[in-house]
Every structure is written in C-alpha cells, then in structure tokens.
A and B are shown apart, each in its own frame.
Chain A
C-alpha cells in the first residue's frame, strides 16, 4: 500500500494497513492478471463463438460486451472488480472516521501557517446534479458529501482511497498524471512560458501541484464544485508548501475574465460530466484562454482510437462502476468538440504520454521529441506500462 507523504496522512493501525495492502494486491490481480486472462478467454472462446453466429468479428465495444456477458470468467472478473472497488473505500472509512477530528485540527493549523496559496468557497453554491446525485466510481458520499461544518473528510477519502486504488501506478504522491503531462509540455514546447495556469475539476489538487513544480513562475489556480475536496486540497497544498489558489466554481461557468489564462488543464475530469456540460466546459476554456494559450485535457482515450475489445474493456466502468458519463464521453470525437467551441481544427493536438513514474525519465523525455503517438493498447488502462492520453488545442 502506498503511504501518503504529507501531513494529512491518516494514523492507521497495523491491521488497517494490512487491509489496504490486501485491497491494493487484489486490484493489481484483477486489473493485470485477470484482465489478461479475460482477453485470452475472449480470443479463445467468445470471439470464435461470435464469428460462428454472425460470420464476422465484433465491430465495436458494445458488441464485445454483449458477446462476453454470459461468460463465467467475465462474471468473476466483474464481480471481483466491483468487490475490490468497494473495498478500496471500505478500507479507508474506519481509520478516516477515527481521524476526522485530528484531520480538521491539522487542516486548521496548516491554514494558519505561512500562507502559500488561498481558498475561496461560495456560500449557497449549487453543486450540479451529476455530482450531487451520484456516488461516482462506487465512492459513497462522492466528492461533495459533507457530514459536519467545515468538513474535509470527502477529500481525505479520495486521497487515501486513490493511494489504495492505484497500487503504485499513479505515483508516490498520486501526481504521476500531473508530473508526466506538465513536464512533457515544458519539454515539448520550450517557448511556452505560462503566467497563469488553471486546473478544472481539480478535486484534491493532486495533479494541480505539478504545474507549479514545472512552471514555478506561474500563478496556478484550481477549481472544483466540491467544497470538502477544496478544503482538503488547500490544506494538502499548504502541507506540501505549494502556492496554489483554489476556488469553488463550476467549470461550465467560470468567474474568470476573458483571455486571462495561458494554460487551461484538466485530468480525469471530462468523463465525469454529461455531454452538454463538456461542450460548455470546452467553450469556457476557450473564453478564458489568452490568444496563443493552450487547452489540454488528460483523459481516457476516445473509442474511435481503440479496437472493439479495448473499447469494451474501458467502457466496463461506464456499465458497472457508477460512471454513467464515461462511455458517452469516450464516444465523442475530441477534435470535433474543440472545433465546436471555437478552436481552429489545425490547432488541435493530442498525445499519448508515457507515465514518468513507470517508464522513468529517459523514455518519458524522449517521447517529447517524437511526433505525437495515439494508438496503444496500454493507453488509459491502469495497468503495467501505463500511458496517459491527452487532447487539446491552441487558441
């Protein structure tokens, strides 16, 4: 199990740590070993049966899903994956519940410490229903659940849960996405000297901080709708000595003036928003970007770039992990979405970036010198040899 490296780390007993270790190990088994096993079962049994019945191979993810649903291995894989997902959060609740008073005190102390960044919450802020009504990825309480005044427990649930969930594949500070991408952009575009950077749907700011690390001169802002995550994000950034400004805002309707940012970023965010919202968010990104600024979204790869089996594999979450907007997002054509928001098609860009944590600095930095790659069966899969997919556009 990955231990958090900052002061908000929960005090856990030997047994609680062992339970977390078990869940991390279970997830690695399901997502690496069993996922490989399921592919073998598909190739050996499911696809041939489909061919016999239809005279052709499946042509898309839903056809693969339909054909594999009755297979016993798929059922065990899926049932165990749901169990493991639930156990991620269940392994955090007992130590978190016990630590809540101390966690609040620590956050209050961190807030009194030399101020690095800031936190702005809004009285009476309306959380959109696609957040307030769903326990996304089976996380009870979601990002915005509040159980006391000034609550930040949901942020701690997410931070500690991610540490168990990612079984080391999201970096020692859960910032592999931020570090891999912000660093890649710095190497790839040496002339880009951003003065202001915005991270949309930043939750606990785990990937926001990387932008400050890579561009120390820049003013870095993070926005989210969930107050408990933002309180936690602020305390976490304070603990890490990073100057980041967190605001409670809806990415569909930002309070920032036109042309005020050089970079607008998000990670693992758009797939948790319905299509209508995504269009508005991209349009808002266009509005707040300065001419010549860069919009970049780290996301799951679009279905259009994947084989039918890989599309099915990634869409599993949409069907079974309380991610209702995941498949609709992945069915979109990123270039068309950017064009509808006003970005010129010739200014569209997309990359598949090797994880710096997994591949190491050498392979990762060499990728910045090559033409952009997009197709890989590792893309977007939390598995050995992970690659992060990104799309965006210059304004």
Chain B
C-alpha cells in the first residue's frame, strides 16, 4: 500500500443554518480570511521582534522595500495557496460532484477506461463506505 494523501472532506456533508446556505459559506470564507489575517500578524510580530532584537530594522524600511523577481515569483505561488484555502468550501462541492459523475459513469458503462477509473477517486478514501448515514436527520443538509 503506497502513501495516499489523507482525505480532508467530511463524509455526510456539513449542516447549513441560514435560509440560503450561501450565507454559511461566505461566513466560513470570512473566518478563514480572519485566520489568515491573524497568521500574518503573528508572523509580522515575530519578524519585527527578531529584527528589533538584532538591531536590523530601521524606521520606515519596510514601507520603502521592493521584492526581487525571484521573491515575487515565490510569493505568487504562496498567494495561490492562500486563495485556494479561502475558497476550499466551494471546492468540496466540486469534489463531491466529480465523485457523483464518476459513479454515474461507472454504473452506466460497463467498459470503464483506466484513465477515467483513476479520475473516479480524486480525494476518495480507502474505506468500506463513502457515505455516512446519520441516525436522525435533525440537521438540514443541503448541497
């Protein structure tokens, strides 16, 4: 058994509370954004503390600073990761939709090509069942 990435999507979906689930999703984005803003502040605080300790930071130096092209490129990659993480909640829906399409393809066609079969499990688990059945449907679950 090779090393597969851990599955990060919750089976059984997640509950939504507002009349329009879009509100829950946007709230989630705001909170993830808040998390990243906080992360940045902690990092900046660490950086400044180190600089002050070492006497390496002069007043106004950060405002006057420009990145090199290499540094810009590295930041671009990190920015992409940041944005992906911000919209992860929407990606969940896409992964589920792909899973459904793949299952539909598998059942409608007896001949499944190797390629589509491997696409059929994007972030799928190595589990007995991929669908949880809550004992009671107290939560309103929507896609």
Give chain A's interface residues, CB within 8 Å of chain B.
14-15, 17-19, 21-23, 26, 65, 74-76, 78-80, 82-84, 86-87, 89-90, 93, 96-97, 100-101, 127, 129, 132-135, 138-141, 145-149, 153, 157, 274, 318-320, 322, 324-325, 327-328
CB distance from B94 to the nearest CB of A (A): 16
Query: Do most interface residues of chain A lie in helix, strand or loop, or is the interface mixed?
Result: helix
Residue of B nearest to A75 (CB): B17
Question: Is B99 on the interface with A (CB-CB < 8 A)?
Answer: no
| Bound-state Cα–Cα, A156 to B32, Å | 23
Distance in Å: Cβ of A288 to nearest Cβ of chain B: 28
Stretch in B7-15, B64-72, B104-112 touching the partner:
B7-15
Contacts of B35 in A (CB 8 A): 19, 22-23, 26, 87
Are the C-beta atoms of B10 and A135 separated by less than 8 Å? Answer: yes
Most chain B C-beta atoms within 10 Å of own C-beta, residue among A19, A87, A139, A328: A19
Known: A274-B135, A319-B15, A319-B139. A26 touches B31 (CB 8 A): yes
Q: A97-B5, A133-B133, A324-B136 are in contact. Are A83 and B27 (CB under 8 A)?
A: yes
CA A93 to CA B31, docked complex, whole Å: 18
Which of B6, B8, B11, B134 is packed against the most chain A CB atoms within 10 Å? Answer: B6
Assembled-state Cα–Cα distance A26/B43 (Å): 18
Q: Please indicate the chain A residues that have their CB under 8 angstroms from the CB of B126 in the complex.
A: 145-147
| Contacting pair B43 A145 (CB below 8 A) | no
B3 adjacent to chain A (CB < 8 Å): yes
B59 adjacent to chain A (CB < 8 Å): no
Q: Report B117-143 residues with CB < 8 Å from chain A CB.
A: 125-129, 131-136, 138-139
Contacts of A79 in B (CB 8 A): 16-18, 23-24, 27-28
Query: What are 18 A-B contacts with C-beta separation under 8 Å?
Result: A14-B46, A18-B39, A18-B41, A18-B42, A75-B18, A76-B17, A79-B16, A79-B27, A82-B17, A83-B31, A83-B32, A127-B128, A133-B131, A145-B125, A149-B1, A153-B6, A324-B136, A327-B136
A148 touches B133 (CB 8 A): no
Residue B2 is within 8 A (CB to CB) of chain A in the complex: yes
For A83, the chain B residues whose CB sits under 8 A away are 27-28, 31-32
Provide the B25-44 mask, 1 if CB < 8 A to any CB of A, else 0.
00110011011101101110
Which residues of B are in contact with A by a Cβ distance under 8 Å? 1-12, 14-18, 23-24, 27-28, 31-32, 34-36, 38-39, 41-43, 46, 88, 125-129, 131-136, 138-139
The answer to whether B139 and A74 touch across the interface, beta carbons within 8 angstroms, is no
Task: Indicate if the CB atoms of A320 and B31 lie closer than 8 Å.
Answer: no
Closest to B47 in A: A14
The one of A18, A65, A148, A274 in contact with B1, judged by C-beta atoms closer than 8 angstroms, is A148
Which residues of chain B are within 8 angstroms of A86 by Cβ–Cβ distance?
10, 14, 28
By the criterion CB–CB under 8 Å, are A145 and B129 in contact? Answer: no
| Cβ contacts under 8 Å, B42 to chain A | 14-15, 17-18, 21
Q: Within the assembled complex, what's the spacing in Å between the Cα atoms of A58 and B3? A: 52
**Within the complex, which residue of B5, B15, B23, B39 is in contact with A320, where a contact is CB–CB below 8 Å?**
B15
The residue in chain B whose Cβ has the minimal distance to the Cβ of A77 is B17
Q: Which of A18, A133, A147 contacts B132 (CB 8 A)?
A: A133
Shortest Cβ distance from residue B84 to the other chain A in the assembled complex, whole angstroms = 12
Least Cβ–Cβ distance between B140 and chain A, in angstroms? 9
Known: A22-B34, A325-B135. A157 touches B8 (CB 8 A): no
Q: Is the CB of A19 within 8 A of B39?
A: yes
| A21 proximity list for chain B (CB < 8 A) | 38, 42
When the two chains form their complex, are residues A15 and B138 in contact, meaning their CB atoms are under 8 A apart?
A: no
